[in-house]
Each structure stands twice: as C-alpha cells, then as structure tokens.
Amino acid sequence: MSEFETQVRACLADPGLTYRQRVQALAMLAENAVEPPVVSEACCLAQAKGVIHDMGEGNAPYRPRYVLPDYAAALARGSAHLELEAPTTLDDALTFLLAMYAGVPSITGYPVYLGDLDRLLEPFVGSAEHGVSDEALDAALTRFWRLIDRTMPDAFVHANLGPDDGRVVRSLLRVDRALRQVVPNLTLRVDPDSTPDDLLREAVLTTCADGKPHYVNDPMMRADLGEAYGVVSCYNSLPRGGGAHTLVRLDVSASVRFAGVGLHEWLDDVLPRHVALTAELMAARIRHLVEQTGFYDHDWLAREGLIARDRFTAMFGFYGIAEAVELLGVGRYGHEEPATALGHRIVARLAELVAATPMPYCEATGGHALLHAQSGIDSDFGVTAGARIPVGSEPPLYHHIRAVAPNHRHVPAGISDIFRFEPTVQSNPDAVVAVLRGAFAEGMRDVTFDVVGNGFVRITGFLVREKDVAGIAQDGRARHASSFLGAGSMANQRLAERVVKPAPIGDGVR
C-alpha cells in the first residue's frame, strides 16, 4: 500500500473526526498529492531548515487564504448566484448572510470574515419603538449566533463590530455574553472620538465572560488600509472586498540560528536574504492561485463584484523575535532595554524590507505584501509568536504595554499581545476601559486580554473552551476543528503559564 493510500485509509477510519472534518482532511491529502509551485534550491533549503514556513496552506493554492466579501453590496443588490433578492427585513437579511457564508472560501473551509455585522444589520432594525423591539432583536440574533456556531464550527470564523454605537452592536455583545460560544470570533474597532465608554464597558464585560471581543485601534488601521478594511481569523487586518492570497511566515529565531553570524552581518546580509526567499515562496504561491487556477476569473464572488483581485494582497508573517534577540546575545526581550530595543529594530527592518520587495498581484497595497506578526500555530515549540514577550515571563501591565507598543506601527496586517487578568477584573470594567484607551494612546494597534477562570483561553488569535480541550484528552473528539489546534498550542506553547496580571484599579494601571 502506498503512503498516500495509507494516509487516506487512516483518515477514512479516524474515530476522532466528524464527517466534515474528514472531508476537509481528505481534500488536503489530495491537494498535497501534487507537486508544490517551483521555487529555488535556496528557498527549498530555507523551508527544510524551518526558516520559512508555508503555514500548511497546501501544495496547490486554489483559493485565497482569507476572503473578505463586500457583504454590504450583496445585501443592497441581491445575488443571482444565490437566487436571492435584496432583503428588506431583519429576518431576510440574516437568512441572506447565512446563505452567503456557505459559499465563501478560505484556507479553513469556513468563512473567516462575516462582515461588519452592526453596520450591515442596523438598517434593518430601526428604533425599538417603531422597528424591531429589543426582545425581538436579541431573539433573532441569538438564533443567528447559534446557527453560525453549529454550521461553521471553527473559531477562525470572525465578525467585526464598531466603532460606532448602535442597537445591533449592543445586542450582539449581550447575545455573545449569554451564549458563551467560541464561534464566531469577534473584533471591536475602537475610535477614541466615536466609541463611547459605556459601549467599551459592555465589550469588556463580554470579554470577561467569554474572552471576546479583541480590540482594534480603528484610526490607526484606517490610516494604513483605508476605510474599507476588516479583521479576520487571527488578528489579520486586510482590505475589504478582497483579502490575502497567501500567508507565509519567517521564523526570525531560526534565521539567526541557521546563519550563525554576529548581529551586524545578520541584519545587513542574512535577514534581507531570508526576506527575499520568503517573498519568493509567496510569489510562487500567488502566481499559482492567480495564473494556474484562475480563481479570480470564475469564482461567483468575483463574477458578482463582491471581491476583486486588485483588492487582494499577501501577508508576510514573522515570529520568534524574542528568541532571535536572545540568540544574538543582547539579553531578554521585554525585560532589558537593549534587548527590547533590538526587537523593535528588527521589526522596523522587516517592515522596510517587505515594503521594498515587489509582490505580484498585490495592487491593493502598493504592489508589496503587508507585514504581519504571526501569532503562532499548534506545532510551534520553543519559539514565541510574532513579537510577543515569551509566555511565563510577561512583565507587569504598564511595562508590558510600553515594551511592545513600538512594534505595532510597523505591522499593518495585524499584531497581537495578550494580557491575562485575574478574575476580579470583571468587578471593575471601567479600569479596563482606561487600560484600552491608554494602550491605544501608547501606539498599540491591537489589544487582547483574557481572564483566568472564565473557561476560555485565547490561543493565538482564536479561542478554545477549556472543556473542549479536556474532551479531546478524554475521547479524542471535538465539534470545533479549531479545538484540536488549540489543544496542541496549549501543550506546546505552555499557554496555561501566562503571567496573570492583577486587576487594574484607579487609572487602569498598576
């Protein structure tokens, strides 16, 4: 029996997989049976040495990694492909969106972007007195939320809210807090000028309950990506109406280890070469997707003008900054000033190199890729996500914020630093609101926190429930495919050892 047949038969009989998970695993086996896009020997060697990683996207890219359809246009015009007229009521709009989600491709097999739901749905709601009542709105959105979780059981499915206040955003925060699901993942865009404190307070209470939402500095993001952007999957910010063809990442620590040279030679010679090799792999994958598969010529989203190839870019990911700094002999990143400053210097240098490297079919971002602090995968071991401070050594809150914030301006496609709070934080949400505002004022682009004891763990950008991870340990099964990835990350990256920060008091910082 060939190795391929052995793998197929093992998948067919795997008792831990649902039917849908089995189909997806079989599809990946088929894709990987073909040869990957051709790259140079140097690029192959860098992959073999673990310097460059293709994120397991598969050998033959036939769909973009992340797709952000223009749901507003679809709701306004209707869809010939879906055979649905433009909706006129809230129920019709929710049904339209659920039908549309089923046809949105991504690397996970599920849609990674559900749209800016409050903006999309607010026109169908009206006032509580003359439109949909609060009770009816919560009931409708509860059914909608449950259907998303039950039909798209993957925690990379992601919805956006904010920055403005409204009935839908408040209802969805209430519903999410009540249901305590890992799906959908949530981002709240925050604009200091338009997002009121009491809306932020509602969001903080929801995060205390179930680990969501994640918070984005909306003015900073709009300055880099324009008004039409979305946050998808794991802290990935991308043009709306487009997305990302691919995401390939560079292990900066492996680059240092592989080269075995001093700081200056590595910065001046090795890092540019490894950036170029990473870009070579990205370009090969993009050309396969665009030129060989013709995805953007025939997919229904493109034919109906809901995505456009010139709204797509590519994501250049990096990770292992903390370990790279230590290998270069400068000290402990996040704790010692020279080491932290070197981390900032490396991120800034990566941004310069990526911006200067042409990338095919990336007109949406000036013909180059977007830099992204990749937040890790389940198989990472002994290396820290993006530019985070290593798990178990996170400094006190204010020190932590000031150590990582300077990186954020260089990373338009998203960067994450996770703060873990003790459970009493929920008794003083206003202090967390002050922390969020302070972190954004300090220059942070993305802010995420989780809370000990609420049953949820923020993994990379997605969440798992602790009981689902325990279920995998017990019988090897999970309804959410992402729970398997979360279980691996919790073990390999020691996520339970994140330093727990005291609940902020007073001005939000202590």
What is the token pair recorded at 318? 């990096």
- CA distances from residue 369 to 171, 318, 381, 412 in whole angstroms, order as listed: 37, 13, 27, 10
What is the token pair recorded at 436? 């969020």
Q: Is the pLDDT of residue 429 over 70?
A: yes
What is the token pair recorded at 332? 């402990």
Residue 189: how many CA atoms within 13 Å on its side-chain side?
28
Residue type at position 337: E
pLDDT in tens, 186-228: 999 999 999 999 999 999 999 999 999 999 999 999 999 999 9
pLDDT in tens, 167-196: 999 999 999 999 999 999 999 999 999 999
% of the chain surpassing 70 pLDDT: 99
pLDDT of residue 492: 87
66/63 Cα distance (integer angstroms):
9
Backbone angles phi, psi at 304, to 5 degrees: -95, 10
Secondary structure of 213-232 as H, E, C letters:
CEEEEHHHHHHHHCCCEEEE
Mean pLDDT of 72-88: 98
pLDDT of residue 504: 83
- CA distances from residue 505 to 114, 201, 214, 216 in whole angstroms, order as listed: 35, 15, 21, 22
Mean pLDDT of 86-114: 97
Secondary structure of 308-364 as H, E, C letters:
CHHHEEEEEEEECHHHHHHHCCCCCCCCCHHHHHHHHHHHHHHHHHHHCCECCCCHH
pLDDT of residue 377: 87
State whether residue 161 is helix, strand or coil. Answer: strand
Residue type at position 48: A
390/470 Cα distance (integer angstroms):
25
Q: Is the pLDDT of residue 509 over 80?
A: no
What is the token pair recorded at 302? 């493109």
Backbone angles phi, psi at 400, to 5 degrees: -60, -50
Residue 507 pLDDT level (bands cut at 50, 70, 90): low
- Of 380 and 283, the one with more pLDDT: 283
Q: Is the pLDDT of residue 342 over 90?
A: yes
440/506 Cα distance (integer angstroms):
18
Question: What are 188's strand-pairing partners?
Answer: 161, 215
User: Are the CB atoms for 472 and 480 separated by under 8 Å?
Assistant: no
Q: Any idea what DSSP says for residue 122?
A: G
Q: Is the pLDDT of residue 21 over 60?
A: yes
pLDDT in tens, 435-451: 999 999 999 999 999 99
My answer on whether omega of the bond before 213 falls inside 30° of 0, hence cis, is: yes
The CA-based angle 200-204-209, given to 5 degrees, is 150
3-state helix, strand and coil shares in percent for the chain, rounded to the nearest 5:
50, 15, 40
Strand 446-451 with 418-421, pairing: parallel
pLDDT in tens, 228-247: 999 998 889 999 999 999 99
285/278 Cα distance (integer angstroms):
11
Question: What are 38's strand-pairing partners?
Answer: none
pLDDT in tens, 440-482: 999 999 999 999 999 999 988 889 999 999 999 888 889 998 9
**Which residues, 6+ apart, have CB-to-CB distance to 221 below 8 Å?**
189, 229, 237, 412, 445
Burial of residue 150 (CB within 10 Å: 0-12, 13-18, 19+) is: exposed
Q: Which residues of 177-212 are buried (b: 16+ CB within 10 A; e: fewer)?
A: beeebbbbbbbbbbbeeebeeebbebbbebbbbbbb
Q: What is the mean pLDDT of the chain?
A: 95
Strand 236-239 with 229-232, pairing: antiparallel
Question: What are 465's strand-pairing partners?
Answer: 456
pLDDT of residue 506: 63
93/75 Cα distance (integer angstroms):
7
Mean pLDDT of 115-143: 96
The CA-based angle 291-292-298, given to 5 degrees, is 80
- Of 505 and 90, the one with more pLDDT: 90
